[in-house]
Structure 1
C-alpha cells in the first residue's frame, strides 16, 4: 500500500514538472510572438511628407574625409609639362630638378626609351594577369635571371610595384609567433609588411647596434629558459641599406655578426641603395664588402636608380621561390608591364656598361654633402645623411616643430619661385607612421649634374636659409 502511494506521488511530481516546463515554453513563445508583431507594426509605421521634410532639414551629414586646409599643397599642384629629367618645364618655365630620385639620369635616356617602344610593338602595354596565371612573359624571366646574376644570388623574383615588394615579402616568411627585430627608422612599406606578418616586433633605436644586441641577448636568455618553445620561434632582423627617412646607411657588418651569433635571419630593403652604393651599384653588401650569401633576402624597388617601375627580391633559390606561392603582391597582382621590364633590364645593363655614371654620382654626393654642410653653418638648418648618399635631408633645428615645418615650406617655395630650383618636402602619412619623423626637405643629387648646376642649387639654398 505504501509503495503504491509513493509511486502515485512520484508520478504526480513528474507530471507537474512537465506541465510547468510546458507552460514556460508556451509563455516564452507567446511573448516573443507579441514582441515581434509590435516591432513589425513599428517598422511599418509611415511618416507623413511633412515629417520627412523636417527630418531631412534637421540632418547634418558627417564629412567622409577631414577638411583639407586651404594652404595644403594638394590644392595647389604644380604640373610638369616635360619629362622629369635634370631640368623640368612647369607652366612654361624651366627649373633645375633637385627633387627626383633619378640618381643615374636614366629618365629620358634615348637608349632605354627605344627598347621600351620596341617592347610595346611586340607585347602591347600590359600583361593583363598575375604571374602565376597568364601574366608571365619571357622578358619577366629574363629580367629575373639578370637581377640574380647582377646581385650575385641564386634566384630573383619580380614584382609589379615597389611598395608591394617589401610589404609582401616580409609576411611571406614571418608569421604569428615569430620575432622581428626592426630599426625604428624603417620606411612605411616595411611597417606595413610587419603589421601583415602578425609577428612580435622588437624595435631598436635607429642604427644603434648596442640596443639591437640588448634585445637579442634578452631573447637568447628567454630561449635558454624554455628551449622547447625556442625551437618553434624564428628570428628576423629587418633593416634598410639606405634609409629613406634619414639618408643614413645601415652598419651591415655588425648586423651580419649578430646574425650568426644569435641565429637570426637578415632581410634588407635596398630600394634606395640599389644602383647607388658599392663600386658597381650592387648595393650595401658591395659597399661594405660583405658576402651577399650572408644576407638571407634582399628586397629592392626598381623605381629609383633604375627609373622604371616594380621591385624584386633576391637570395637563395629555396628562399626566393617560396614567394611565388606566398607573396601576396606576386600572386594576386597583375605582372609588371613588359615595356617596364625591358626598360629596367636596359638600365641595369647601362650600370655595368657605363660605370662613369655611378662614379660621378658618388663623387657629387660627397661633394654636395660637404658644400651643403658649409653653406648651412650658422643657420638653423643642417644636412643629415651619409656622405655617400645622393639623398640629403635638410632639417630645421627649431625647437618648435610647427615653426620648423613652416620654414621648410618657405624654403621650398622661395627656391622654386625666385631661384628656379625645385626641391620637395619629404611627405609621410604621419598618423600611420609608427614613430615620429623629423620634418625635412629632400635634396637629391643626380649623376648628370654639372659642377656649376650643383653649385647654383647650393648657393640658392644658402641665400634662402639665411633669410628664414
Structure 2
C-alpha cells in the first residue's frame, strides 16, 4: 500500500520536470495506442464461409512478375560477338572493322598487358573476395592508386571497381540535400544517377553554353542575397564532362574555371573519355587546355576505355579524395576490381608513360576519321574533330521512332558489309534530356587510311540506299 503513493509521486515528478513538448508527445502516443486497440476490437476482420473463400480463390489472378515484352524489343534480338575484341571484331558471324567499342588506344590487343594479366591471375586468382575495406585490398590496388596520383600529378587517387559507379558515387559523397548543383544538360546517365542520389537542387544549363550557365549563376546569386542565412549553409557544385559521351563535344574548361572562381563553385570534371585521349601525355582535358589541375576540385576518370581494363578513379587533394573511402558508396560496398585487371591497368599506365606518341597517333586518326565522315551525303556529323567519340545524325529530320528504326537498319546493313557500328541507346523515359537518335562512332589509334576509306564508303553506300 505504501508503494502506490510513492510510485504516483515518482511519475508526477517525472512529468513535472519533463519539457512540455515531451509530455504532449507522450500523451498523444498513449491516446494513439488506446485508439488502435479499441478500433481493432470494434472492426474485426470479416469472416467468410468456406464456400465464399473457395469462390474468392478461384477468381484470383496473380499479376505477372515480368510484364509483357514487345515483340520488337532489342533484348530479343541480341548481336553475338565471338572471339577477342580489337580493331577487328566478329559480329553475328561477320568479320568487321570495329568502330563500335571504346578501346581508343587499341590496348586490348597488347600482348605485354595480356601476359602481365595472366601472371597476376596465377598469383592472386580471379576475384578479390570483398570490398576494399573488408579484405578486398591487395598490393596491386594500392599500387594503381599511387601510380594514378603520380601520373595525374595530384596528391591522392581512389580506385572504384565499376566505371558507372565512380561518378555516380562521387557526387552524392559530397553534395547533399541542402546543396545546389549546376550541370550540363547533356551529361551522361551515370552523372544523372549521381545527381539524383545527391538529392540536391539541380539546375541544367544548355549544352556547352557558358552564357546560359552564367545566367543561372546570377539568378542563384540574387536568391542568395534575399536569404543570406540559408546561402551561408549552401554549397554550390559545377559538374561537366571532359568529352561528352552523348555528343562527342569537348567542354570549354577554361571558361568553366573562370566561372568557378567568380561564383565560388566546386568543380567536378568527369574525364571518362578524355583521360588517355587528350593532351600530349594523355592526362586529359586539363593538359589539353593547359589548365592547372588544382583548379578542378575533383577529377573523375575511367579505366574502361583508353586503359582497356575495368573501373574508374578519382584524383584530387588528399583531403577531398580520402573522404570517399568512407562515403563513396560504390567504393565501400562493391567488391574491389579483380587483381588481374588491376595489373592490366598498371601496365597500361606504363605504356602511357613510355610511349606518349600514342596520344598523337590517336588524335591524328580521330581527325582523319572526322574529316572523312563530315562528307557523308545523307548524314551529319557531330562531335569535336579530336574526340574519339562521334555521332552521326540523319540529315533530314524525322520523328524519333522513324529515325531510330532507320538507324537500326543502317547498323544491320553495315555489319553485313563488314563495318561494326552501333546506334546510341538511351533510357528515353528516364534520361533528363534524352539526346536525338544517332550512330555512335568510336575511333582508335590503329585505324589506317584504308580503314577510314572503307568505313566512309560503307556508310555512304548503306545510308544512301536506306535514306535516299
TM-score, shorter chain, exceeding 0.5:
yes
Residue of structure 1 equivalent to 2:132:
131
CA distance in 2, matches of 1:271, 1:115: 24
Secondary structure of the equivalent of 1:432? coil
Q: Deviations over 1:79-99 (max 9, x none)?
A: 122111111124543111110
- Aligned CA RMSD, in angstroms, stands at 2.0
Residue of structure 2 equivalent to 1:255:
256
CA distance in 2, matches of 1:320, 1:29: 53
CA distance in 1, matches of 2:40, 2:216: 59
* Residue 95 of structure 1 pairs with residue 96 of structure 2: yes
Q: 1:225 to 1:112 in 2, by over 3 A?
A: same
Task: Tell me how far 1:290 sits from its aligned partner.
Answer: 0.5
Residue of structure 2 equivalent to 1:443:
441
Task: Tell me how far 1:53 sits from its aligned partner.
Answer: 7.4
Task: Tell me how far 1:345 sits from its aligned partner.
Answer: 0.9
Residue of structure 2 equivalent to 1:155:
156
The answer to whether the 8 A contact 1:237-1:267 is kept is yes
Task: Tell me how far 1:63 sits from its aligned partner.
Answer: 4.0
Residue of structure 1 equivalent to 2:408:
409
Task: Tell me how far 1:66 sits from its aligned partner.
Answer: 4.0
Q: Deviations over 1:221-242 (max 9, x none)?
A: 2223333322211110000000
For residues 254-333 of structure 1, what are the structure 2 equivalents within 5 Å?
Answer: 254-333=255-334
Which residue of 41, 47, 50 corresponds with 2:47? Answer: 41
CA distance in 2, matches of 1:69, 1:32: 46
Which residue of 46, 55, 59 corresponds with 1:55? Answer: 59
* Residue 386 of structure 1 pairs with residue 384 of structure 2: yes
CA distance in 1, matches of 2:277, 2:67: 39
Q: Deviations over 1:115-160 (max 9, x none)?
A: 1111111111111111112111111110001001111111000101
For residues 7-46 of structure 1, what are the structure 2 equivalents within 5 Å?
Answer: 33=41, 35-36=43-44, 39=45, 41-42=47-48, 45-46=49-50
Q: Which runs of 5+ in 2 are unaligned?
A: 1-35
Q: 1:413 to 1:92 in 2, by over 3 A?
A: closer
For residues 88-237 of structure 1, what are the structure 2 equivalents within 5 Å?
Answer: 88-237=89-238
What TM-score, normalized to structure 1? 0.88
CA distance in 2, matches of 1:312, 1:355: 21
Q: How many residues align?
A: 431
Secondary structure of the equivalent of 2:315? strand
Task: Tell me how far 1:296 sits from its aligned partner.
Answer: 0.2
Q: 1:382 to 1:63 in 2, by over 3 A?
A: farther
CA distance in 2, matches of 1:277, 1:99: 20
Deviates more, 1:351-360 or 1:248-257: 351-360
The answer to whether the 8 A contact 2:94-2:415 is kept is no
Q: 1:144 to 1:29 in 2, by over 3 A?
A: closer
CA distance in 2, matches of 1:229, 1:429: 36
Secondary structure of the equivalent of 1:350? helix
CA distance in 2, matches of 1:31, 1:162: 54
The answer to whether the 8 A contact 2:426-2:434 is kept is no
Task: Tell me how far 1:189 sits from its aligned partner.
Answer: 0.6
Residue of structure 2 equivalent to 1:371:
372
Task: Tell me how far 1:62 sits from its aligned partner.
Answer: 3.8
* Residue 395 of structure 1 pairs with residue 418 of structure 2: no
CA distance in 2, matches of 1:263, 1:315: 18
Secondary structure of the equivalent of 2:342? helix
CA distance in 2, matches of 1:174, 1:48: 56
CA distance in 2, matches of 1:365, 1:167: 29
Residue of structure 2 equivalent to 1:420:
418
Which residue of 428, 431, 434 corresponds with 1:433? Answer: 431
Deviates more, 1:84-93 or 1:292-301: 84-93
Q: 1:117 to 1:226 in 2, by over 3 A?
A: same
Structure showing greater radius of gyration is 1
The answer to whether the 8 A contact 1:125-1:338 is kept is yes
Task: Tell me how far 1:31 sits from its aligned partner.
Answer: 8.4
CA distance in 2, matches of 1:383, 1:345: 35
CA distance in 2, matches of 1:254, 1:32: 66
Q: Which runs of 5+ in 1 are unaligned?
A: 1-27
Task: Tell me how far 1:351 sits from its aligned partner.
Answer: 1.7
Task: Tell me how far 1:48 sits from its aligned partner.
Answer: 7.3
Task: Tell me how far 1:64 sits from its aligned partner.
Answer: 3.6
Q: 1:49 to 1:119 in 2, by over 3 A?
A: same
Secondary structure of the equivalent of 1:134? helix
Runs of 4+ displaced beyond 6 Å: 28-31
Secondary structure of the equivalent of 1:431? coil
The answer to whether the 8 A contact 2:421-2:441 is kept is yes
Q: Deviations over 1:175-217 (max 9, x none)?
A: 1111100100001111111111111111111100000001111
